[in-house]
Structure 1
C-alpha cells in the first residue's frame, strides 16, 4: 500500500493550526520528508527531516522526533520555520499576497514514495484590496466592502521602510478593515526615517473618518519596531485611536535613521521636532560594535539604544494620554534594541499615571526582534539593511517561530476584545 499524507488545517490561512500525519509506511522504517516553498518575494526555501515510522507504520509530525534534519525536536511546524534559502537559486517573480504553496516529498534514499502540497493563504479571499495614493498618503486598504462599517486598524512597519502589507492583510482576514501605511522609503514620501511628520498619521486618520466602510468609533493601530514607537506616539497625540499594539516597540523617541539623521529626531509634529534620547555611550560598548564590524560579525545595537535612553526622561512618550488599552510584545533576546526594557518603561509610566484602560506587556524571553505574521521561515536572524554591515536580530529560529504564533493569537484576541 502506498504511503499517504493526511493534512488537517483549521482554515486556509497561514496562521492556522495544522496536523500532518503520514500513514501506510513499513513499521520502524527510515524515511526523509522534504519541504520546498517559494515565498511572495520570489525566494525559494527548503527544509528536511529524517524520521523512523512507529510500530503502526505512521509518522505524526506533532510528536515525531527527527533523527536528523533542519530541526531537532518534535514540532508540527518544524519543516516550515526551519526552511533555509536554496543556495544560488535564481529569484523568481514577486507574487505579493498570493497563496503560499509548500511541496512535501517523502523519500527513501533516492526514491520518492509520495508527495503532496499544502496551500496557505496570506489574506482571506473575502477581503478587498485597494491601493491608496491620495491626500499625500501611500498605503493599501484592506476592507470588507459588502459589510456594515467595521473596526479599522492602521498598520505601520519598521525601519525597513516602504510598504509592508503582510500584517495588515492577515489581520483583515479576521473581520477588521486595515490600512497598511508607509511613512518613508517609498516614492512620494521621505527617503529616510528622519523628522517624519506625525501630521501624516493625522491625515490618515482623517481619510479613515471619511471612508464609509470604517466604524470611526473603533480605530486602532499596530506598529512594529520603529513603527511601534510611532504607534505609541500617534495614540498619545490623537484621541481617535482607541487601541494600540506595539510589536518590539520603544516607549522612548530615538534619533532618526539614515545618512541625514545626525543630530535629528525620528519625528516632528506641526513643524517642531520631538525631543529624542541620545545619552552618552560607554566606550566599551562602542568598542564592541567596532570590533564586530572589523571582523564582519553581526552587530548588536541593544546596549547602544539602552544607554541612549538612560536618564533621557524628556524623550519618553506620554503614553498616559492614550485613550484606550495597550498591548506590547517583546523578545528578551532582542539584539536590535532592548524592546523588552523599552516596553517596561511604557508599563511603568502607565502605572504611575493610573492609566484607566487595560495595559499589558508580553515578553518572550528567548525570542529576538523578529515579530511578524507567523508561518514563515525564521532562520534568518541576521540582516544587512543598507548593504554595508550585518545586524543581529537575536533569538533562535524555533523560539522566534513559537513566539510569533503565540504573540499573533494575543494580538487577534486583543483587537477582538477591545475593538470589535
Structure 2
C-alpha cells in the first residue's frame, strides 16, 4: 500500500488532471465524459514542405483556453518552437483556419503560423535542411492554459512530417567534368521545363528550393560553385566557363525540354544568373531573387573578358548593439562611372527577366538595382522586366512556411548579419513569390509534356 502522504499527493495530482485534461472530469461510471482529444490534419499528417495543411483539434471543452505548440529539431540539434494562445469554439474544436491566435508568437488567423513563426531556441538560428531525403518531424501539441502543473502532459499531440523529395522525384548527384551539382527529375519521361538554381555566398549545396520545384513538374539542377566537394573553398574569383559547362550539360539531359532553360539565382547567385543570360546561349528566363545588376564581391572571368567585383565601403557598416552587422548602405553604386567594369551587360541577353525584391532587405537595396536593370534594358530597346515588390520581406526568401530569419551567422562574412523581414509580412511574401516564379517559368519555358517549341 502507498503511505498516506504519498497517497494524498497522488490524489491531488490526479484530481488536477481530471479537472483540466478536457477528456474526463469525474472518475465514475456515470459522470460526464468527453470524446478523446485528437488532431485532424488534412490533406494528411505527411506533406511536402511548401504545402499548406488544415489543422483541427477536436474533443476539447467549449471555450477552453489552450496553448498550441509546434516543435522541431534541426540537423544541428537546435530546437525551433512556436507557441500561441487560443480559445476553443462552442463545439470544442480548435480550427487553425478559423480560430484567431490571442497572443504568443503570432496573433490573428494564420493557419500556417505554427510553422513560419517558429524561433530557434539558440540565438540567431536559421532553419536549413541539407538532407532533403528525409522530412522534418514537427511535434504538435495542445496544452490547457490553466493547468496547475507547468510540466503537465499535453491534452493531445502528434507528429506532423514536412518533406522535400516527393513521390517519384529522382535525385541524381552530378560529377561530370568539373560540374558538382544535384539533378532533380519529376516522375515520368518528360520533357520538363528546366530550371538551373544558384545559391548565394553561403556556398555549398542547399537543395531544398530545387527539390521543391521538381515536385511542381520542373527538371532542376542545383549547381554548387564553391565550398563544396572539391570546388574552391573560398569565393576569390569565378570563371563563367564552369557555368557554361553546367548549362550545356543540363540542356542535354533527355528529360529537359529543348529550346532553352530558366535560371533562378538567389543573392550572389542572382548576378551570376544575369551574367549567364548575358553571355551564354540557351537561357530563356531568369529569376533574380534579391540580387544586384553588377557582378559582386569577386572577379568573374570569361575568356579574355573580366567583370570586376563590385566593392563596398567598410566604414558604412553599422554594428548593432547585439553585434550583428548591417551592410545595407555599404555597396558602391553599380552605375557610377568608376564601376563600369562591374556592370553586367544584360542588354545582350535574349531572356525574359523577373526581379523578386524584398523591400525590407537589409543586405542591400535590391529595388534600386532592379530599377537600374530595367532602365538599362529599356534604353537598349529590350523588353521591360517584371519587378515583383514584396513589402516587409527580408533578404532570406525561402519556400513557403520556412520560419523568417531576421539575422543569422554568415560564414562568408565570419559574423552575424542582419537580413531584415517581419514574420507575418515575410511569410506572406514567401507564398507570393514562390507562386509567381513557377508561373513565370511556365509562361516562358512551357509546361510539362511534349514540347511545342
**TM-score where L is the length of structure 2:** 0.82
Hey, what does 1:339 align to over in structure 2?
366
Q: Name the CA shift for 1:382/1:348 in 2 (closer, same or farther; >3 Å).
A: same
- Secondary structure of 2:39's match? strand
Hey, what does 1:363 align to over in structure 2?
389
User: C-alpha offsets along residues 339-364 of structure 1, whole Å, 9 cap, x if unaligned?
Assistant: 121122112222222324x6201111
Structure 1 runs of 4+ with >4 Å offset = 306-311
Instruction: After TM superposition, give the deviation of residue 195 of structure 1 in Å.
Output: 2.0
CA distance in 2, matches of 1:405, 1:343: 21
User: C-alpha offsets along residues 57-89 of structure 1, whole Å, 9 cap, x if unaligned?
Assistant: 222223433233222232111110111223499
Please identify, of 367-376 and 303-312, the stretch whose mean Cα deviation from structure 2 is larger.
303-312
Instruction: After TM superposition, give the deviation of residue 248 of structure 1 in Å.
Output: 0.7
Question: Does 2:329 match 1:303?
Answer: yes
Instruction: After TM superposition, give the deviation of residue 47 of structure 1 in Å.
Output: 1.4
Hey, what does 1:2 align to over in structure 2?
36
Q: Name the CA shift for 1:318/1:37 in 2 (closer, same or farther; >3 Å).
A: same
- Secondary structure of 2:140's match? strand
Question: Does 2:173 match 1:131?
Answer: yes
Hey, what does 1:327 align to over in structure 2?
354
Hey, what does 2:155 align to over in structure 1?
113
Unaligned 5+ runs, structure 1: 257-264
Match of 1:274 among 299, 307, 319: 307
CA distance in 1, matches of 2:136, 2:311: 43
Q: Name the CA shift for 1:144/1:333 in 2 (closer, same or farther; >3 Å).
A: closer
User: C-alpha offsets along residues 196-242 of structure 1, whole Å, 9 cap, x if unaligned?
Assistant: 00111110122123322222313111110000110011011112111
CA distance in 2, matches of 1:278, 1:156: 21
Q: Name the CA shift for 1:40/1:362 in 2 (closer, same or farther; >3 Å).
A: farther
Question: Does 2:136 match 1:103?
Answer: no
- Secondary structure of 1:67's match? strand
Q: How many residues align?
A: 401
Hey, what does 1:261 align to over in structure 2?
none
Instruction: After TM superposition, give the deviation of residue 379 of structure 1 in Å.
Output: 3.9
Instruction: After TM superposition, give the deviation of residue 335 of structure 1 in Å.
Output: 0.9
* Aligned partners of 1:131 and 1:139 also within 8 Å: yes
Q: Name the CA shift for 1:95/1:140 in 2 (closer, same or farther; >3 Å).
A: closer
Hey, what does 1:259 align to over in structure 2?
none
Larger radius of gyration: 2
CA distance in 2, matches of 1:403, 1:234: 27
Match of 1:69 among 89, 100, 104: 104
CA distance in 1, matches of 2:202, 2:376: 28
Hey, what does 2:410 align to over in structure 1?
384
CA distance in 2, matches of 1:94, 1:234: 26
Aligned counterparts, 1:101-180, within 5 A: 101-108=137-144, 109=147, 110-144=152-186, 146-180=188-222
Hey, what does 1:260 align to over in structure 2?
none
**TM-score where L is the length of structure 1:** 0.88
- Secondary structure of 1:391's match? strand
Instruction: After TM superposition, give the deviation of residue 190 of structure 1 in Å.
Output: 2.1
Hey, what does 2:11 align to over in structure 1?
none
Hey, what does 1:241 align to over in structure 2?
283
CA distance in 1, matches of 2:190, 2:392: 42
- Indicate the RMSD between aligned Cα atoms, in angstroms: 2.6
Instruction: After TM superposition, give the deviation of residue 302 of structure 1 in Å.
Output: 1.2
Match of 1:202 among 240, 244, 252: 244
Instruction: After TM superposition, give the deviation of residue 156 of structure 1 in Å.
Output: 0.5
Hey, what does 2:424 align to over in structure 1?
398
Q: Name the CA shift for 1:42/1:23 in 2 (closer, same or farther; >3 Å).
A: same
Match of 1:23 among 55, 58, 81: 58
Hey, what does 2:26 align to over in structure 1?
none
* Aligned partners of 1:128 and 1:145 also within 8 Å: yes
CA distance in 1, matches of 2:406, 2:254: 41
- Secondary structure of 2:245's match? helix
* Aligned partners of 2:170 and 2:186 also within 8 Å: yes
